[in-house]
Amino acid sequence: MALRFENDPRFSFLHLGKTHIPGLPVIHHPVSATAAKPMAMRDALKRLEIDAAMIWSLCLETFSLTAYEAAAAGAAVITGPDSGNIAAFTREGHGLVLPDERSLIAMFESGEILTLARSLRQPPLYNMEFSNLTADLETVS
């Protein structure tokens, strides 16, 4: 998506993570969660006011900490139907499950994807509560 829409002024593509991915038209923000800073990713997403997180998994996921971090920061999750529990989580009001990549591209081309802007949605923010096996969202606003 970043390559396809790199010259479209409506969109900015960012990559948050430890490792920079060379050759892509994305802005890298180094972020790494640690035992001392388990909320580092959520805090970075919130600080940067990320509107949406594209989590387009190519396989069925049993759990996605990335989806929880995005939702906790107020970002809408964008995913496909074959992403397993990412799609199930997203359908609970945390974003948009699209039927296929063609639909994803069409939403960008038409600008419809802009309806996920946080300024239009006024999303709640959450704290994340961790256990040994999973994480839960706890409303803070």
- pLDDT tens digits, residue range 50-62? 999 999 998 999 9
In a domain, 33, yes or no: yes
CB contact at 8 A, 25 and 2: yes
Q: Please give the helix or strand (H or E) that residue 54 lies within, else none.
A: strand 52-54
22-49 confidence digits (pLDDT tens): 999 999 999 999 989 999 999 999 999 9
89-141 confidence digits (pLDDT tens): 999 999 999 999 999 999 999 999 999 999 999 998 998 887 776 677 877 76
Please state the domain count of the chain: 1
Separation of alpha carbons 134 and 115, rounded Å = 30
Please list, residue by residue across 59-90, b when 16 or more beta carbons sit within 10 angstroms of its beta carbon and e when fewer do: eebeebbbbbbbbbbbbbbbbbebbbebbebb
Output phi, psi for 73, to 5 deg. Answer: -90, 0
pTM as predicted: 0.89
In a domain, 1, yes or no: no
Range of the domain at 45: 14-139
In a domain, 4, yes or no: no
Local structure of 130: helix, strand or coil: strand
